[in-house]
Each structure stands twice: as structure tokens, then as C-alpha cells.
Chain A
Amino acid sequence: MTMQITDPAVRRSAATKPDFRTRLQSWIPKLVLSPSLALIIVFVYGFIFFSVYLSFTDSRILPSYGWVGFENYDKLFRLRHWDIAVSNLVVFSSLYIIFCTVIGLLLAIFLDQKIRGESILRPIYLYPMALSFIVTGTAWKWFLDPGIGLEHTMHLWGWESFSFDWIKNRDFAIYTVVLAAVWQSSGFVMAMFLAGLRGIDNEMLKAAQMDGASNFQLYRRIIIPQLRPAFLSAFVILSHLAIKSYDLVVALTGGGPGRATEVPATFMYSYTFTRNQMGIGASSAVIMLLTIVAIMVPYLYSELREKK
């Protein structure tokens, strides 16, 4: 597998002589692609459309089709609960993305310095990504619980004044979700940056070094700017994980204390499935989807256009 960037422009496969075999050949690729495409059209776009439709209906326990216009949206925006969920998402996702990126980049750069034991450290950083939310939630919930976890341990060790009760504190609980989420995904981000770093051409660095650039300057001026694709990939993966984050919140805090860690995904689930207000649930899903579109479309546009 060569690692050089080749010219990606590939011409169409249509050969010069369009006999039957080549015509068939030119159809096969589309035939191969079409089942996947069809599945996605029906099960992703069809279902999105269905949700949009539901958000305009009076659906409660099961889908129903009485049209109520924008009533669900009106109710949604009047709910303080929703405001809390949205502002939590803003806090959570920005901290989550920033910390994962910074820690991931830092670890990747450090690991890239010919570290002995890299092959042991790397899986240690990566493994949390392999765990399910129930496992992560169980571990962290217990670890952070002041009564039995870290705080208790510190007290037993004689550090009586040690206090770490964030998970029980309305103003800080959301940060424990950030902590557990960063724990889970920063290793993955590290792997992406490490991959990016390993792909950088060393000749250029050596040339810059000859010109007297320091390590710091090398990273700031040359290496980090070259990691742009890795940054973008990390941003996309992290932001969609943040918006979809449901499992971890449920397993760690259940949205509490009170409703201090409610996020849109838990909001949507609870309105759709436990409060029998499917219409409002659907309208919150639509807002979430729009947010995802707002983030993804510019990214996809810039990425895909470049590759042409």
C-alpha cells in the first residue's frame, strides 16, 4: 500500500467501443451501489421525513395523523426543560470537543517522539472507546460518587478535607459527563492525530529545521496546519457524538441531579417514549437534525468539493 497522494481524478470507465460487455461493465458499478443507496433512501431519509411529518401531528402514545401545524414546536420552545437541554448541549459539546481535541493532539504529538512503550500506551489510551455506555456509566458513576468513590477513598487515606462531589452538584454535574465522555473518546482522537502525524513528510521538516526553526515553531507553523484533515474528521466525529450523546448521560446521571444534565437526546427520548408526547418528541428530533445539517453540510461541501 503506497502512501503517496496520487492524482485522484479518475475518468469514467466507459471504454471507447460500447459493445455489450462494456455497456454491462458500465452498469455493474451502479448496480452494486444501488442496494445500499436504496436502503439509505428508505431507512434514513424516509424515516427522517416521517419524523418531520410526525412533528406536525397530534401523535401521543403511537403515531397518529391529526395535523396540528406548529403547535408542537410552539410547546417545545415554551418548555424550560428544552432550554436547559439546549444550553447543556452547548456547554457539553464545546467542552467535550475542545478537551478531546487538545488532549488527543497533545498525546499524539508526545507519542510521536519515539516513545518507548508506545505499543503499550496506545491501547491504554484507546481502550475506553471499546466499552459500552453501561460499562462506562457504571464505572464512572461509582468512581465519582462521594459516598463510596474517590472522595471516600481520599478520606480513608486521611485527606479529610478532600471534596469532589460534582456528580451530586447541580452546577457541576454536567462537567462530570464531560469528564467521562472525554475519557471515552479522547484516545480515539489521539489515534486520528497520530495517523495524521505519521503521514507528514519529514523532508519538509528537515528543511525547516536547517533554517533554524525550533520544535515549537515546527509544530505551530508546519505540522499542525498539515493536520487540517485530521482536525476536520475529529470535529465531525466528535460533534455528532456530542449531539447524539444519550447513553452516557442516562448511565451516568440519568439527567440529574434534578434535570441538571438533561440534553436534547434524552429530552427527545423521554418525550417520545416515556411521556407519551410523541409529537413534541418528534419536533425536538427535527431541531436536532437541523443542527446536525447545519454543522455537516458546510463540512461535506468543502470536503467533497476539494476532492473533485
Chain B
Amino acid sequence: MRKTILKISTALVIGGMSANVAAAGDVEVLHWWTSGGEASALNVLKQDLEGQGIGWNDMPVAGGGGESAMTVLRARVTAGNAPTAVQMLGFDILDWAGEGALADLNAVAEAEGWDAVVPEALQAFAKHDGKWVSAPVNVHSTNWVWANKSVLDANGIAVPTTWEEFEAALATLSAAGVTPIAHGGQAWQEATVFDAIAMSTGGPDFYKSAFVDLDEGALGSDTMVEAFRRMDVIRANVDENFSGRDWNLATAMVINGDAAFQLMGDWAKGEFINAGKVPGEDFLCFRFPGTADQVTFNADQFALFDQGGDVSSEQASLASAILSPSFQSAFNVVKGSAPARTDVSDEAFDACGKKAIADLAAAAHTGNLFGSMAHGHAAPAGIKNAIYDVVTAHFNGEFDAGTAAEELVDAVSIAK
């Protein structure tokens, strides 16, 4: 379908750039969900909109967990040709809102009562200056451990609940000749592991002061050194071929029984389900030892870009379709995440999904819900990546735990 572009001479979006608007009746969506499962989940949304007579212009840009898509977005916005909606994470949304590039969704939000149903911690990333600027799709929680049940049973291992038990389990597995941990050596995956370990080592207050408040004392503390030391333990329990491996290939190792555990966000569940595995019978999902009460989350959202003036009716329809309970349920059952609103029935979800929804509600209630550092929900992109640098350099043996903590202080101070 050919997209007509009509130029609007008013609407100075950023620094006097003019905006082009998609012809009425179309939305253009920039995203990086290109694989089978995700794309079909997104198709639900597409069909929903097409049912309302709104065309869907697809702009997929895969690669690097959205890195390529963000570069494209920058070029598009600079050209005054911003897409209608863009898949986005955490601080990126706030940064773009800070540039004044996002639309004001308050009218839709008020009409549909988003404030009441979206958890507070999530609202922090969907609202800027009291205005809703994006529509949250889901809440992923990242501090999960995925385990192959038969491997654990064969080695007489119960679900570990503390770091010590976990370490003992790793030792048992290692002695039995099983690869204890399936890991993919990419910076974000190492940071995902580190996220959970830091939470487990220092608890929620430490996590907050280190990764959210970026307190130098916490970043360079002995607790941090201990967290890095525990990363060494993880490193010693992965196979030799981990570097550069995609996360889903690591998941496949657990599925096939080549490894016992994977520390990964809840999107890993989709791989188990696709392989015909049943939660609780073939595989187990549990919170990383020592973080039973906490949930570190990241949420995919669709940020709506200002198309010059008011929110267009297509944007409003898109936003409201995204937050509709039926889509939230349908999408998240496929994706493995929890719905972004708390009032969605968990009926359609499997055991792990039900647990995720319950954990999320409990954590939100007790103040144990934290944005994940590894997934850009604790600190802005520059700092997140600075932490990545240190974590991945340490994990790959560039320096020891003590030096890593010093480097962390340094890297964060430069990136601030």
C-alpha cells in the first residue's frame, strides 16, 4: 500500500521541523518484533485496527534489541517524518518526551481510566510531565530462572531459594558433568544476570541506590564487589561456547537438557511452550534465589509521536486498542509477559503466567517493583550502557571483581 504524505506547514515539532502526517486511516508502526511468535502477536493488534478501518503500515527494523530501530527513529524524527507509533523501552520514552516529540494521550487515558489500572511503577515510564505519552503493552519481569526439571530431578536438586543453595546446586551439576547454566554472551544478557545478582546480593535498597540513584558509595561498595564475585561463580558454570550466543539458543540448551538453568526474562517461556513443554512438568520457573519478593521489570510500550497538533483519531484508536483487556490478554499469553494493566483476568495464562501476574501485583503492592537496570528501566541509556561495559568486560575476564566495582563508579560518573 502506498503511503501518501501530506505536509503540514505548522506544527513545529522539534526546533522548527515540520511534520508529515500519514494519510487519514493509516498508522505507521516502527518496531523490532520480527520473529514468528512476536509478529503473530502483533498481528492481533493489526487485525483489531483493520477491523476499525485503520490501515497498518509496518516498519520493522530488527537488530540489537531495538538499537537499529532507535537509529532509524532518530533519522525519521529529524527529517520531520516521524512514524505514528514506535515500540520503545523505559528511559527512551522519557528522553523523547523531553524533546517534545511525543503526543499527549491524556484525553484517551482519562476516558479509559488508565491511571487506575496501570501500576504506578509503570506509569513512571508512560507519563511525562503528567501527560500520558505512550501505551504500555506488557510487563516483562527479568529476575527469573528457567530450569529443566528432569535434569534437576536426576541430580537430586530442589528449587534453590538462596544464593548458597544455588551455588551448591551449580557445584553438584558441574560435578555430574552437566553444564549448570546456559548463557548467551551478549552484553544485555550478562547485564540481565547481573541485575538479578545485584538484587539478590544487596536487596532492594541497595539496588535502588546503586542503579536508580547512581550513588557512588553503593556502586563502589563491598556489596557490589561481592555481586561481581558472584558473577565469577556464574562465569565458572557456563559452557565454553557461550560468547555471542543468542538468548533463545541458550534457552534451547535448557529445553534439550544440555544445561540445567538459564537466568533470563519471561520471554524465554515462549521458547519452552513452542517446543511443546509444560510448565511445572517439563520445566520450572522460579525467581532468582534471594529475590522471591522482588520483581525487576521492563515494559514494551508504543510511544505515540506527535503528528502536529492534536492526537489523531487513528493514534487514539491504536492506543486504546493496545490497552484493551482483550489485546493485553491475547498478546501476553503469546509473549510470556504479564499484562500492563492489573485488571486483566489471568484465566488464559499458564502456571508461569499466573505466577508472574500474581508476583507483579504483590510486588507493586509492597513497593518491591523495580525497573530493570539491564533493560533500560532504572537509568538512561548512556548510563545503562556504561554499566553494560563494565559488567561484560568483567564477565569476559578483563578485570577482577574489585577492579570491576571501581570501574563501575568511574564509568557511571563519565556517563552521567
Interface residues of A (CB under 8 A from B): 60-62, 75, 78-81, 141, 145-147, 165, 167-170, 253-254, 256-260, 269-270, 273-277
Judge if B187 is at the interface, Cβ distance under 8 Å: yes
Which single residue of chain B is at the shortest CB-CB distance from A79? Answer: B414
Residue of A nearest to B185 (CB): A257
Q: Are B96 and A80 in contact (CB under 8 A)?
A: no
In the complex, the answer to whether B77 meets A273 with C-beta atoms within 8 Å is no
Is B241 close to A, CB under 8 A? yes
- In the assembled complex, the Cα of A270 lies from the Cα of B381 at a distance in Å of 10
Closest chain B CB from A284 CB (angstroms): 13
With A257-B185, A259-B389, A276-B380 known to touch, is A61 a contact of B95 (CB < 8 Å)? Answer: yes
Q: Is B186 a contact of A256 with CB atoms below 8 Å?
A: yes
B residues 369-416 touching A (CB-CB < 8 Å): 380-382, 385-386, 389, 392-393, 395-398, 407, 410-411, 414-415
Pair B241/A61 contact, Cβ less than 8 Å: no
Distance A146 CA – B240 CA, assembled complex (angstroms):
9
A167 touches B381 (CB 8 A): no
Chain B 287-310, CB-CB to A under 8 Å as 1, else 0, gives: 000000000000000000000000
Are A258's CB and B393's CB within 8 A?
Answer: yes
The CA-CA distance from A273 to B98 in the complex, in Å, is 17
Residue of B at shortest CB range from A65?
A: B15
With A and B bound together, what is the CA distance between A269 and B185 in angstroms? Answer: 21
Cβ-based interface call for B348 (8 A)? no
B381/A276 in contact, CB under 8 A: yes
Could you tell me which residues of chain B, from 34 to 90, have a CB within 8 Å of some CB in chain A?
Answer: 64, 67, 70-71, 74, 77-78
Q: Is B115 an interface residue (CB 8 A)?
A: no
Q: How far is the CA of A18 from the CA of B244 in the complex (A)?
A: 70
- Which residues of chain B from 241 to 261 have a CB within 8 Å of any chain A CB? 241-244
Interchain CB contact under 8 A, B77 and A258:
no
CA distance A88 to B385 in the complex (A): 20
Judging by beta carbons under 8 Å apart, are B381 and A75 in contact?
no
A254 to B246, CA, bound (A): 12
CB distance from B36 to the nearest CB of A (A): 19
Mark B96-118 against chain A: 1 for CB-CB distance below 8 A, else 0.
10110000000000000000000
Looking at chain A's contact residues, is the secondary structure mostly helix, strand, loop, or mixed? Answer: loop
Given the complex, which residues of A lie within 8 Å of B386, measured CB to CB? 275
Contact A258 B241 (CB under 8 A): no
* A170 partner residues in chain B, CB cutoff 8 A: 396-398
Contact call B244/A167, Cβ cutoff below 8 A = yes
In the complex, A169 Cα to B395 Cα: how many Å?
Answer: 12
Q: Smallest CB–CB gap between B76 and chain A, Å? A: 12
**Docked pose: A15 CA to B396 CA in angstroms:** 71
User: Residues of B contacting A79 with CB < 8 Å?
Assistant: 411, 414
Q: Does B14 reach chain A (CB closer than 8 Å)? A: yes
Q: Which residues of A contact B393 (CB under 8 A)?
A: 258-259
Given contacts A256-B185, A257-B396, A258-B393, whether A277 and B241 have CB atoms under 8 Å apart is no
In the complex the two chains form, what is the Cα distance from A61 to B99 in whole Å? 8
Q: How far is the CA of A80 from the CA of B244 in the complex (A)?
A: 22
The answer on a CB contact under 8 Å between B74 and A61 is: yes
Which residue on chain B has the smallest CB distance to residue A255? B187
Which residues of the partner chain A approach B70 to less than 8 Å between Cβ atoms? 273-274
In contact, A167 and B243 (Cβ under 8 angstroms):
yes
With A62-B99, A259-B392: A274-B244 Cβ-Cβ less than 8 Å: no
Query: Top 6 A-B pairs ranked by shortest CB distance?
Result: A258-B396, A257-B243, A168-B243, A273-B71, A147-B241, A275-B382
Closest chain B CB from A73 CB (angstroms):
12
Contacts of A141 in B (CB 8 A): 244
Assess whether B385 is in contact with A275, with CB atoms less than 8 Å apart. yes
Report the separation of the CA atoms of residues A146 and B241 in the bound assembly, to the nearest whole angstrom. Answer: 7
What would be 17 A-B contacts, judged by CB atoms less than 8 Å apart?
A62-B78, A79-B414, A146-B241, A167-B243, A168-B185, A168-B241, A170-B398, A253-B244, A256-B186, A259-B187, A259-B389, A259-B393, A270-B385, A274-B385, A275-B415, A276-B381, A277-B415
Given the complex of chains A and B, what is the CA–CA distance between A178 and B236 in angstroms?
29
Q: Give the residue of A78, A147, A168, A258 whose beta carbon is less than 8 angstroms from that of B398.
A: A258
Cα–Cα, bound, A273→B414 (Å): 17
A266 to B167, CA, bound (A): 37
User: Which residues of chain B come closer than 8 Å to A269, judged between CB atoms?
Assistant: 71
Closest chain B CB from A164 CB (angstroms) = 12
Q: Flag if B381 contacts A275 (CB, 8 Å).
A: yes
- A78 contacts across to B, CB distance below 8 A: 410, 414
A277 and B186: CB pair below 8 A? no
Instruction: Given A146-B241, A147-B241, A259-B389, answer yes or no on A274-B67 (Cβ-Cβ < 8 Å).
Output: yes
User: Does the CB pair B241–A165 fall under 8 Å?
Assistant: yes
Which residues of chain A come closer than 8 Å to B414, judged between CB atoms? Answer: 75, 78-79
Q: How many whole Å from B90's CB to the nearest CB in chain A?
A: 12
Q: Say yes or no: B71 contacts A274, CB within 8 Å.
A: yes
5 new A-B contacts, CB < 8 A, other than A167-B244, A257-B243, are A253-B244, A257-B185, A259-B392, A275-B385, A276-B381
* Closest Cβ neighbor of A148 among chain B residues: B241
Query: Which residues of chain A are near B14, meaning CB under 8 Å?
Result: 62
With a 10 A CB-CB cut-off, give which of A61, A141, A170 has the most chain B CB atoms: A61
* A269 to B70 alpha-carbon distance, docked (Å): 12
Query: What A residues does B397 contact at CB under 8 A?
Result: 170, 258
A25 CB to nearest B CB, Å = 41
Q: Whole-angstrom distance from the CB of A161 to the nearest CB of chain B?
A: 15
Q: B244 touching A254 by the CB < 8 A rule?
A: yes
A274-B381 contact given A167-B243, A256-B392, A259-B389, CB 8 Å threshold: yes
Note all chain B residues with C-beta closer than 8 A to A169. 243
List of B residues within 8 angstroms of A277 by Cβ: 382, 415
Give the CA-CA distance A75 to B414 in the complex, in Å.
6
Min distance, Cβ B53 to any Cβ of chain A, angstroms: 34
Closest to B395 in A: A258
Distance between Cα atoms of A78 and B407 in the complex (Å): 11
Contacting pair B382 A276 (CB below 8 A): yes
Q: Is there an interface contact between A276 and B95, defined as CB atoms closer than 8 Å? A: yes
CA distance A75 to B411 in the complex (A): 10
The closest CB in chain A to the CB of B242 belongs to: A168
- A146 to B64: give the CA distance in the assembly, Å: 22
Question: Do A165 and B240 touch (CB < 8 A)?
Answer: yes
Q: Which of A61, A147, A260 touches B96 (beta carbons < 8 Å)?
A: A61
**Nearest-Cβ distance from residue B249 to partner chain A, whole angstroms:** 9
User: Whole-angstrom distance between the alpha carbons of A145 and B393 in the complex?
Assistant: 21
Complex: how many Å from CA A117 to CA B414?
59
Residue of A nearest to B187 (CB): A256
Q: Which residues of A contact B92 (CB under 8 A)?
A: 276
